[in-house]
């Protein structure tokens, strides 16, 4: 039977029949999910300037309000 280490706590765990794989438990799986949600992990990629998106959204909203007032 194949045994792997839990990526969260390094506990050896059997791969086959493990409903939480690659983690050893639901607790470790949720800790990992929380780290992704807190943006502690990131997938490398090109830089995206989010402030430019915010400026564009603000301009679109302002234009929409002006059109509604007309």
Q: Measured between alpha carbons, how far is residue 44 from residues 17, 19, 47, 48, 67 in Å?
A: 32, 29, 9, 11, 40
CA 61 from chain center: how many Å? 28
Is residue 13 within 8 Å of 6, Cβ to Cβ?
Answer: yes
Catalogue the E-assigned strands of the chain: 3-5, 12-14
Q: Which domains does the chain have, with CATH numbers?
A: 3-69 (3.30.50.10)
Determine if the pTM surpasses 0.75.
no
Can you give the pLDDT at residue 9? Answer: 96
Residues of the chain with confidence (pLDDT) below 70: 52-70
């Amino acid at each position: 039977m194949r045994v792997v280490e839990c990526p969260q706590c390094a506990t050896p765990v059997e791969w086959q029949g493990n409903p939480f794989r690659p983690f050893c438990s639901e607790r470790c799986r949720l800790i990992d999910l929380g780290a992704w949600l807190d943006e502690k992990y990131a997938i490398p990629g090109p830089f995206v300037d989010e402030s430019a998106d915010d400026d564009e959204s603000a301009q679109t909203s302002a234009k929409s309000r002006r059109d509604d007032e007309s």
